[in-house]
A and B are shown apart, each in its own frame.
Chain A
């Protein structure tokens, strides 16, 4: 076996029963090898079969899928293996790191017991030895307090930490093959960097062989040695990482690489448009409000921003930054505890019930997940028709004509009106979701992570659509995203939120070169670049923050994580708002000259 590759897959095919009862090949004729100690990436859009292939390596087919072809891992052949022999492989020789570690851990057991469980089940070593190995792995994965972290319960740990613990669980039996199934997709970009670094380090250290499933080329470029590009269950291209990125041979690979960089639309930034939506000093949160007027769980504190007519303003931040709450407050779904919102000079009531129908019509909200944002009981025509009837009193043939126009606007055929939402693809649903907002003829659309759940190629198409709609209809956007590249592709102005505070705001071009707020710096630096070796660069190694500086609502909120915090200044007074020479407003004690360096 010394000459043959470590993992060998030949003519792999996965067949399921199609909706009409006929067999349907979802994976067809896939062959690849993985050398010992290397990582192969499977990349493609959703539905490309990448997860199906990864699971079939464990001999697992979802929902009665039939696997055929040769699968050999180490000296074990998996095809036709079943029952006990398969169970002996899984979790010992072949292990799996799932996308959502938070959902994969049992909440009622301590993590260390779960991490060493594979070793105990397969009796590879004693509980004590497994524990010691687990602690070594925790250390290698850069988990805080490797000796003690195992005694905690899953709910006491962050998503990034759980993902690392899951990797430790996968590596505890020293497997022949580790399958990583989109392990960082659900994480914030700033958390993702750390997790990727930890994975890379531990994979190198342990000499583990891996299959890394992802839709993100830039992530894969950091993790893998080889890339296998998949589309509709077929291999489009396979090559070494550097070669594939530099000279993609297949046109589908070229499409993927192009989509990884959302292009900045040549849309000029309007000079000084008349203000349309003004948000002044908004504070909001959840839970009961105390005597000082603060909610039990404050989310936003003193956030202000102005959106001009036809302008696009982006709001970015990681999860928990309060960016979605901004949209909910503006839409009147959550009453702010302080501050005002005005639309074209008129002050809006804090909640929907106090606003006129005309005011409601002018501000529309579009949610991230079109699967739950569209009522599954109604047809597309019903959904759009209801908005037309509600705001424009449009009925019958008029409404039908308008629905067809709207569908044309979002580039879907008029026949879609008859269909129910669950018959549409993810991208189509998101278009319908947008069309519902457009049906109201709004002045401004609040887009809450509308592209986050979509594949890169589909995301590019939706961004194009948004830019065209803005140009043609003059609609303004409040565009909320966690992805700075997406925001820069669409918006004129960008606001950076951190824990409900606006830490930086300014025009798009101000975000091209420093100085930035240290948090903006972290956000921009955390976005993986499409070149191998980016992760190894010194620049992305997050500087050790002054962890002893406690967080306080009156001080800079970023203080506990800030790599350039100054004891004696940052921990005694709230930071001032400074204007940078590029026009950016930055909330920081550091001066412009200090921030550049």
Chain B
């Protein structure tokens, strides 16, 4: 296996040199970055800011796991703990997961993959980044000024009438960052509709683009609802207008309906782009066209559409009607199907493939393995009779981390390792990459699997002290988190190293198909010298040809 990898790398990278002119050296100076309209530079800006937020969210996760190492409250105070998990949730959801893959890799790749020289609205694209930065800055100010203690869900009447913390400031940050998301979605939709190169028909688009199209629809249609919800919350908190607090004539369940109407689809904003990445990776490393291309493409749309009508499954015990629960439950069962379709198609893509195991492929396999568990445990929670017991326990925490960390973050890491040579023009050391993928996979399972059991045992979430019954599983989880942390820190080092010392990658270090691999790495400012004409089907791989090339170069292993 290691022979394979080094071989491929040297075969393609040894002869390559860094191009003389590319988007990063097209202009110099801070101003040339902060006022850029180049989608690739904006993607790099996002990469830096979003990664910084991920690191910060990770530090809060470490604080949480340290506190939960023992049943007593011995490391943080109750207040500090509540603020830590709130900061962790707000940062990770709104400032890492939601923008991560779309704003970085979507931004960088969609114009290149469709054969355009930029997104449809380059200035709006830059504006989105500024909105994101302003939103993140406000949330950070709220955290530095003393923190927020409502959890990322901001449930009233606690958030509107009782919390003494900086709810408004954090809410404003989320509100503003929401517009960044809306504008990015708008940009993607228009670009995908209007800017495809000649020959790049809808069914020749990479599935990464399809996934982002579905994601963009949710961003456009869902995000305004959470903006309105936060606004209503602010009106109640500031002016005492009774909207959600029954003491002044409101209804707290109304908030939950509005909040989850966005926040459930938001889960799909996080996972759909990762699914898009998954399709690219499996195809490229199995040297196969993605099995059932149109099923995978349309399942993204199905997820986006059905995902809008399942929000009530967060509210089976909230006091909503039993019959409403029934409807939401059956719709939730339906949304599981397109995800299952994708999982089977990805696995089938490997059949008769010519599979190699460089870092991105290991992340892809990890994604598939964790996503399957994350998705299936979603059925436990969508099943009302069982959700009554599991709701607001660690089972829920484990489930959504399998989706968001096991799914979305694995997708993010896969994309980072796959497209890094395209973005930076240089290769990172693959052995280190594979080691990090392995450590993350093991650390992740050690961290989050025990939480399923603690949850079924009845450990409620958001507890800073807990009964000794749950100690063993929490101890396991905290131990696992330290392994996971190592896995996440490693790429920071070898990626930084490769930025300067890495071998030049050449245009197509993975021998992958698609327009993005026909340009130089890093691409020039306008991506292509002239408008490309695309005559290939998507993923036009041939595993037999790949084998023939391999045999010619290295002989057969057995």
Whether A associates with B in a native complex is no
**Which residues from chain A sit less than 8 Å from chain B, CB to CB?**
none
**Which residues from chain B sit less than 8 Å from chain A, CB to CB?**
none
